[in-house]
Amino acid sequence: DAGVIQSPRHEVTEMGQEVTLRCKPISGHDYLFWYRQTMMRGLELLIYFNNNVPIDDSGMPEDRFSAKMPNASFSTLKIQPSEPRDSAVYFCASSSADDRAEAFFGQGTRLTVV
């Protein structure tokens, strides 16, 4: 397996524009997580899915953020409208259902909102 795949790797957009980040988890993994990393706050869990169903979205900062998982091999994180304070690195991770399982992370998407 190629691991967790995120796209794009870098995104620069203007304030007010819609941004869509994409993630392909490792095949067979039941859990998918979206994290955000900033210098000030470190790594924060935004939302996670189990078997394509959102389980906990309490980390989503505002209604401008939304996430979907239409099938087991694809998830999106959308920001609409984007703001400069959304600039961060967004990571997607996946793991199997086993409580003991390791989590695997993608390479991240570096988002810059100008």
Q: Which residue, 63 or 98, has its beta carbon nearer to other proteins?
A: 98
CB of 106 to other proteins, least distance (A): 6
CB of 94 to other proteins, least distance (A): 10
Of the candidates 93, 95, 98, 96, the one whose C-alpha atom is nearest the C-alpha of residue 109 is 93
* Interface residue list for other proteins (CB under 8 A): 31, 33, 35, 42-43, 45, 48, 50, 55-56, 91, 93, 95, 97, 99-108, 110
The tokens describing 71, both together, are: 């099938």
Q: Which residue, 10 or 80, has its beta carbon nearer to other proteins?
A: 10
Angle at CA 68, nearest 5°, toward 66 and 71? 175
* Contact (CB, 8 A) for 90 and 4: no
